[in-house]
Structure 1
């Protein structure tokens, strides 16, 4: 006679007693299985031919597949044939029904997952997926993709998406990425935790995916572009890169309106207006006092600078540039000799790696990134002024490209509209006002209109489709001369002077939607940091940096910084 057992109050109140009872019960069931006692069903399996004994009650309780099988027409047969699972795999999963454990390895996980799906063993499926993700390098990502397609396993699909979100920079450069379906790519791009240093990296990935099959991907393109945090781009980027894309004109217009007309934002419908959690940025400053180097991190919430890491660097005049999760230190000056060394500091784990050396030693050079490639431009080798330019990619190393029209050092460089501009600097004839532009598509340099003044060690920033130039040292003691370049008209024009109290400007940054200035004021011994208050046309002083010899600056994603 069947009964329904409801635990009584006494048993409920003593959980340890209940646990002991369940442990003894399970131990007895396992002993029946080990001894093949009271067996009431045997599975006949091929490849290789074998028989696997079991107990109907245990299997039916562990799996809906077995429950339905035993309730069906052949459920009472003492021997049941299973033809789509090999004998070793079935035996492991039968054991799993008793113990909740199975010997899952990289070598058998594919067969185990497929069989677990057939047998509807959800816990075994989870264990298989965990094994795959734990050994993703050994098992290989490609094999995991293949297995996901073959099994249509939703849990594996979700775990792979989580992996792709975390490792997006690497994944988006792989061949498999080009075959991602729209739904999968959209799920990844929508994530607030997408691990990218800059929103531009997500845009670059979409463009790479789109260009792989333009005719078939024009229709879904706007849906993917809408997943970008468009308000984090400036208006020039939106006009140059987003508006020309098929079907994306309205998206660009809305984002530009949102940026330029704050009062109208409540009337503009946009999916995302805040930066991703992983794209929150901060300053990371490399500072030197004599030959002691440190990385200082800016704490925005507390408006203070704190040490992030100490650095072992035994040379100077290197040029640092942020590349993905690393700061690359390129070239420099050591023991009176120019260097061609390239070292990489991983920001997250604070470890160093040597990269391939440049073809030519350089100091006083400039380094920029364009389309994922690193360019080292001009500089000095000994006393020789260089016109050479070389480009680095991980696959090809350093390769020379077309040389500058005019060799120079202590110049500046900036990227605008997919082209590289080199401005000012000096050569054997003195300071220069010459400007030239490099087109990577044609590998050619073109002379542009000269600046209005000769400038050395200048600071340049792109803003709203123009290049703004501010010199490090002010020739005029009352103000800083500022001029800007219009690439459409190929003209320079002077604009209002920066009436700041700087004796020496170290750098100017656009950060957190504000203009930040770093440098040494005329009447202060410490290095100062100020933010421009546009509404009141004044500079507001922020927490100052320690007074040391030299600084170089990077803006990095907060997510890259170690919590240790």
Structure 2
């Protein structure tokens, strides 16, 4: 009896000797193939007709298809007909059985993949899929989708999902996305590596997919919404966007309870409570010292601030706003003149782009985003106080909308319940305002709301649990000067709270903690701390030195390019 190949001779115990042996063996086999020596099977292939000689043992070792073929009834025939693969493709794959390589190109990869699946050549399938993904473009991905549906190739399906996870923002805006089946979309949304700047982007994609065929997609909608990291939304977003969706009321209730009642979290069953790995967030701050601007990022692990970019900005009084992957600098003041310029800084690649200028120059204005649209409100043009308002969309540029009832600058502005609110400010050098107005984009009308209890210039405003909170930025007694607006009853009420209590309202949220960017000290340093709910105390962190904070936002770490 012949020795088993698993009982390897001493010769093969040495890896270098074994490699040399295998190289010599394969070289001999390839020579037999090239010379058509010791051939024991020939395939007759059509389209165009050709004969392809081969060795049964090699093909059977390379593919279960050939192994089963040669064990079957026609396996002993010296000539075997193949009618379902064209001759060029078949010959390339026979060569692959010998060499592990084949000339796969973007032009033949579809035919090669289909044939490799039939012939059960797993390594060839992998090579085809790798070729497809290596050459993927906006146009070729449509071909890849068709090919995946035709072949039901699991590896191609998996690689496409990996691509969709990595390029989700682009994919979710495409037409093909609207036809994704529920299982596929759920696999994508469940991924902790879903590449999105904000969790809201995943919500927007689900909503777009759902609206494409509402009757057929109502039943699976809650399963997709459950894939979101719901605890990363604030309560107002959950109430206004998640709760109204069919079948999602309980999901919204659980997430709100999780946010508002930390002590009860062990009793609340939720699929995901942590942010995605790609959505890990940090602070990004613009600081100004004299006319030097720097973009600083907070390193949470080392508790220190690092320079992310040096900014060349030769004007002041602009209003910055975070929009997707960009910081938009809108309006401002340069050489004694108000500006209408709009510049966009891409956070990821640190490049500037000029956007269409506003219709009117503004400084001391306020900017908010609502439903993907940017609103520039009031401000100053020279010494003229403005009541005009304009709105920007990439498709339409800047267009005027209804003006404020009362002109103003240095006000506060927020969005709540799909409306824009502006409060306080001033319209003469000596007159502060307590007037409040609300803009409804559906009717394009500003309406007066109840006045604040006090006049306020440059107020600090924050939406919290369906209410608007206002704090004077420069009040000497700011801890005693907070008021809250109830939009449902159109009522302002004054509330008295300690600084720590105010920080829970006006502070920024990061890692499910509330952070306070405190006042500047005499050394021009901004104190920073977060609230430890378990110990009910404020924990001081690394302060932000050297300059005044012009802008601070929580951004995904994935947006920040590697240094």
Q: TM-score, length-normalised on structure 2?
A: 0.91
Q: Which runs of 5 or more residues in structure 1 are unaligned? A: none
2:193 touches 2:277 (CA, 8 Å); kept in 1?
yes
The equivalent of 2:52 in structure 1 is 52
1:306 aligns with 2:306: yes
Q: CA deviation at 1:182?
A: 0.9
Instruction: Tell me the distance in 2 between the aligned counterparts of 1:39 and 1:400.
Output: 81
User: How do residues 171-190 of structure 1 correspond to structure 2 at under 5 angstroms?
Assistant: 171-190=171-190
Counterpart in the other structure of 1:110:
110
Matched ranges for 1:342-353 at <5 A? 342-353=342-353
Query: Cα–Cα, structure 1 residues 334 and 6, in superposed 2: closer, same or farther, change >3 Å?
Result: same
Say if 1:165 and 1:191, in contact at 8 Å, map to a contact too. Answer: yes
Residue 28 of structure 1: CA displacement? 1.9
Aligned to 1:529: 528
Instruction: Tell me which residue corresponds to 1:375.
Output: 375
When residues 516 and 89 of structure 1 are mapped into structure 2, their CA distance, relative to the original with a 3 A threshold, is: same
> What secondary structure does 2:76 align onto?
coil
- 448-457 or 537-546: bigger deviation: 537-546
Q: Does 1:441 align with 2:442?
A: yes
- The CA deviation at 1:125 is 1.2
Shift of residue 48, structure 1, vs aligned partner: 3.0
Partner of 1:165: 165
For residue 496 of structure 1, report the CA deviation from its aligned partner: 1.0
Q: Give the aligned partner of residue 461 of structure 1.
A: 462
The 2-side partners of 1:100 and 1:180 are apart by: 35
Query: Could you tell me which residue of structure 1 aligns to residue 92 of structure 2?
Result: 92
Aligned match of 2:405: 405
The corresponding residue for 1:545 is 544
Residue 447 of structure 2 aligns to a residue whose secondary structure is: strand
| Structure 1: distance between partners of 2:521 and 2:6 | 84
Whole-angstrom CA distance in 2 between matches of 1:45 and 1:363: 77
Question: Aligned partners of 2:437 and 2:267: how far apart in 1?
Answer: 43
1:135 matches 2:135: yes
1:181 and 1:298 map into 2 onto residues whose CA distance is 40
| 1:300 CA displacement | 2.2
Hey, what's the Cα distance between the residues in 1 that align with 2:261 and 2:443?
A: 38
Farther-moved stretch of structure 1 (278-287 vs 356-365):
356-365
Alignment of 1:26-425 (within 5 A): 26-137=26-137, 140-425=140-425
Q: Distance in 2 between matches of 1:74 and 1:2?
A: 28
Q: Separation in 1 of the partners of 2:2 and 2:52?
A: 29
Corresponding position of 2:452: 451
CA displacement at 1:203 relative to structure 2: 1.8
How far does residue 15 in structure 1 lie from its aligned partner after superposition?
Answer: 0.9
Q: How many angstroms apart in 2 are the aligned matches of 1:52 and 1:555?
A: 64
CA distance in 2, matches of 1:228, 1:471: 36
The CA deviation at 1:16 is 0.7
Aligned length: 559
Q: So what's the TM-score if we normalise by structure 1?
A: 0.91
Q: Distance in 2 between matches of 1:249 and 1:180?
A: 25
User: Could you say if the C-alpha distance between residues 73 and 99 of structure 1 is closer, same or farther in structure 2, counting changes exceeding 3 Å?
Assistant: same
Contact map agreement 1:106 1:139 (CA 8 A) in 2: no
Query: Which residue of structure 2 lines up, in the alignment, with residue 513 of structure 1?
Result: 512
Relative to structure 1, the CA distance from residue 514 to residue 6 in structure 2 (aligned partners, 3 Å threshold; closer, same or farther) is closer
The Cα shift of 1:469 comes to 1.0
Q: Is the 8 A contact 2:524 2:545 kept in 1?
A: no
Q: Distance in 1 between matches of 2:451 and 2:517?
A: 27
**Distance change (3 Å), C-alpha of 1:495 and 1:524:** farther
Distance in 2 between residues matched to 1:393 and 1:79, nearest whole Å: 68
User: How far does residue 26 in structure 1 lie from its aligned partner after superposition?
Assistant: 1.2
Cα contact 2:229–2:273 (8 A) shared by 1: yes
Looking at structure 1, the residues matched to 521 and 2 of structure 2 have their Cα atoms a distance apart, in angstroms, of 94
Q: Closer, same or farther in 2 for the Cα pair 1:391/1:41, shift >3 Å? A: farther
The answer on whether the counterparts of 1:289 and 1:550 sit within 8 Å (CA) in structure 2 is no
Root-mean-square deviation (Å) = 2.6
SS at match of 1:275: coil
Q: Which residue of 2 aligns with 1:562?
A: 561
Q: 1:99 to 1:218 in 2, by over 3 A?
A: same
Aligned partners of 1:482 and 1:498 also within 8 Å:
no
Q: Higher mean Cα deviation, 323-332 or 426-435?
A: 426-435
Q: Distance in 2 between matches of 1:135 and 1:439?
A: 47
1:3 Cα offset (Å): 5.7
CA distance in 2, matches of 1:536, 1:19: 64
Q: CA deviation at 1:266?
A: 1.9
Give the Cα separation in 2 of the matches to 1:380 and 1:541. 38
CA distance in 1, matches of 2:551, 2:67: 68
Q: Distance in 2 between matches of 1:355 and 1:106?
A: 38
**Structure 2 unaligned runs (5+)?**
none
Between the aligned partners of 1:400 and 1:38, the Cα distance in structure 2 is 84
Q: CA deviation at 1:193?
A: 1.5
